[in-house]
Amino acid sequence: MQYDAITFDITDDIAVITLNRPDVMNALNTQMRAEITDAVSRGGREARVVVMTGAGKSFCSGQDLGDRATAANLDLERTLRDEYVPMLRAIFDCPVPTISAVNGAAAGAGANLALAADVVIATESAFFLQAFTRIGLIPDAGGTWYLPRQMGLAKAMGAALFAEKITARQADDWGMIWEAVADDAFDAHWRGRAAHLAKGPTAAFERVKQAMRASFDNTLDDQLALEAKLQGQCGKTRDFKEGVVAFLQKRPAQYEGR
CATH code of 230's domain: 1.10.12
Give the pLDDT of residue 226: 97
How far is Cα 27 from Cα 50, in angstroms, rounded to an integer?
Answer: 20
- Do 48 and 147 share a domain, yes or no? yes
Count helices and strands (H / E) in the chain: 12, 10
Half-sphere exposure of 230 (CA within 13 A, CB side): 17
Give the pLDDT of residue 71: 56
- Do 175 and 223 share a domain, yes or no? no
Query: For the packed helices 153-162 and 143-151, what is the interaxial angle rounded to 10 degrees?
Result: 130
- Do 73 and 111 share a domain, yes or no? yes
Half-sphere exposure of 136 (CA within 13 A, CB side): 1
The boundaries of the domain holding residue 239 are: 202-248
- Do 185 and 244 share a domain, yes or no? no
- What is the total residue count of the chain? 258
Amino acid at site 165: K
In a domain, 254, yes or no: no
Give the pLDDT of residue 223: 97
Where does a domain end: 198, 214, 240? 198
- 8 A C-beta contact, residue 168 and residue 177: yes
Q: State which H helix or E strand residue 127 sits in.
A: strand 127-129
Give the single-character DSSP code of 63: B
- 8 A C-beta contact, residue 94 and residue 86: no
How far is Cα 256 from Cα 11, in angstroms, rounded to an integer?
Answer: 16
Phi, psi of 255 (to 5 degrees): -80, 145
- Do 211 and 109 share a domain, yes or no? no
CATH code of 15's domain: 3.90.226.10
Q: Which long-range contacts (CB under 8 A, 24 or more apart) does 249-258 make?
A: 253/201, 255/199, 255/200, 255/201, 255/202, 257/13, 257/48, 257/200, 257/201, 257/202, 257/203, 258/202, 258/203
Amino acid at site 150: Q
Give the pLDDT of residue 73: 65
- Do 190 and 213 share a domain, yes or no? no
pLDDT profile of the chain (258 residues), mean per 10:
96 97 96 97 97 97 77 80 96 97 97 98 98 95 96 96 97 96 97 96 96 96 97 96 94 91
Total domains, the chain: 2
- Do 68 and 182 share a domain, yes or no? yes
Give the pLDDT of residue 104: 96
Q: State which H helix or E strand residue 180 sits in.
A: strand 179-181
- Do 146 and 226 share a domain, yes or no? no
Give the pLDDT of residue 258: 86
In a domain, 225, yes or no: yes
Q: Which neighbouring-strand residues pair with 55? A: none
In a domain, 256, yes or no: no
pTM metric for this prediction? 0.93
CA 211 to each of CA 47, 108, 135: distance values in angstroms, whole numbers, following the listed order: 22, 29, 37
How far is Cα 201 from Cα 255, in angstroms, rounded to an integer?
Answer: 6
Give the pLDDT of residue 200: 95
Amino acid at site 157: M
